[in-house]
């Protein structure tokens, strides 16, 4: 069983908080320390029992940790990692929970090259919701969730085993892949749907909202997510999202062309193809 003396989680929001709760519930660490800019957030994280103690100072929080998990918004991860790398103890393993990987992993691996005695492995636990904040955190948020761990020629094999072991211990279904393959897959399965949901919610007239039924609610639910957080994610996976949105636009155009022509057989076939893919996923909501 994987076990750490001190785990430090930087960024104690929905994901960081859920990781803290899960590590504590499963007794995977002697101590879980939280780092956050705002003291009020740390107090809330303590109240939720997501962390054992909190600090606003990255260096203080990281000192002596054998595992550091950076769960801040994507754009802050490299800058925070640079501090962590400087102050981490020898043998420390560093990972993150960022939704894009190529941009982060390239930057952090470059920084980490000056400290061959600390080990970085990129992670993306694919859980979350449109809600934010440690109050929405839950110890089972990661249970049965997909979690992608990235592997590059620079990834230390021991640290890769430890990080995959951590996520598995928290109940996630772990896949190991390259940062670029991660970014391609995730642009289709997560970033594009978010962008489309924002696009849909933004194009409807406020007066029509009174007619919204489950279809509109479901399709646009993630448009209630934090705009800054998602601008960050989109901007750090730009090339892949532009490519996947072209594929989406091309497919939508096919359906719209069938509509314009009144071509019922093509329309039905395109919808049936989409349904067949969607039906591969169960519609069961994860119970947390």
Q: Tell which one of 73, 175, 176, 243 touches a second copy (CB under 8 A).
A: 175
- Largest Cα span, the chain: 67
Specify the residue, 64 or 133, whose C-beta has the smaller distance to a second copy: 133
Least Å from the CB of residue 273 to a second copy: 5
35 near 10, Cβ under 8 Å? yes
Asked if residue 255 binds a second copy (CB under 8 A), the reply is: yes
d(CA 58, CA 109): 19
Least Å from the CB of residue 239 to a second copy: 10
CA proximity to 25, closest of 9, 43, 42, 48: 48
Q: Tell which one of 27, 90, 277, 287 touches a second copy (CB under 8 A).
A: 277
Least Å from the CB of residue 271 to a second copy: 4
Q: Which of residues 89-128 bind a second copy (CB under 8 A)?
A: 126-128
Q: Which of residues 25-54 bind a second copy (CB under 8 A)?
A: none
Q: Which of residues 125-144 bind a second copy (CB under 8 A)?
A: 126-130
163-186 burial, b at 16+ Cβ within 10 Å, e below that, comes to bbebbebbbbebbebbbbebbbbb
Residues 15, 21, 27, 28, Cα dihedral to 10°:
10
Beta strands in 29-145 (DSSP E): 29-35, 53-55, 67-70, 93-96, 119-121, 123-125
Q: Which of residues 203-242 bind a second copy (CB under 8 A)?
A: 203-228, 230-231, 234-235, 238, 241-242
Q: Tell which one of 146, 149, 159, 160 touches a second copy (CB under 8 A).
A: 146
- Round the CA-based radius of gyration of the chain to a whole number and report it: 21
| From 25-33, 36-44, 151-159, 201-209, span contacting a second copy (CB under 8 A) | 201-209
Asked if residue 256 binds a second copy (CB under 8 A), the reply is: yes
Q: What's the token pair of residue 143?
A: 């249970």
């Amino acid at each position: 069983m994987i076990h750490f003396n001190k785990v430090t989680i930087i960024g104690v929001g929905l994901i960081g908080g859920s990781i803290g709760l899960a590590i504590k519930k499963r007794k995977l660490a002697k101590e879980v320390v939280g780092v956050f800019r705002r003291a009020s957030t740390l107090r809330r994280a303590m109240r939720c029992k997501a962390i054992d103690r909190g600090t606003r100072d990255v260096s203080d929080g990281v000192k002596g940790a054998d595992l550091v998990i950076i769960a801040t918004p994507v754009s802050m991860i490299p800058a925070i990692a640079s501090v962590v790398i400087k102050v981490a103890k020898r043998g420390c393993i560093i990972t993150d929970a960022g939704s894009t990987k190529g941009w982060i992993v390239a930057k952090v691996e470059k920084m980490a090259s000056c400290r061959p005695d600390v080990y970085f492995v990129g992670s993306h636990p694919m859980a979350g919701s449109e809600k934010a904040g440690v109050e929405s955190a839950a110890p089972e948020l990661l249970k049965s969730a997909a979690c992608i761990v990235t592997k590059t020629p620079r990834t230390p094999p021991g640290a890769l085993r430890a990080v995959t072991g951590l996520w598995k211990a928290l109940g996630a279904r772990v896949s190991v892949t390259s940062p670029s393959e991660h970014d391609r897959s995730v642009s289709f399965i997560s970033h594009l749907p978010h962008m489309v949901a924002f696009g849909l919610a933004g194009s409807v007239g406020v007066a029509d909202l009174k007619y919204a039924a489950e279809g509109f609610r479901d399709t646009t639910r993630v448009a209630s997510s934090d705009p800054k957080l998602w601008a960050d994610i989109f901007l750090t996976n730009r090339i892949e999202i532009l490519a996947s949105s072209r594929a989406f636009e091309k497919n939508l155009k096919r359906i719209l062309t069938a509509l314009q022509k009144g071509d019922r057989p093509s329309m039905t076939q395109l919808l049936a193809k989409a349904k067949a893919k969607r039906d591969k996923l169960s519609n069961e909501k994860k119970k947390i």
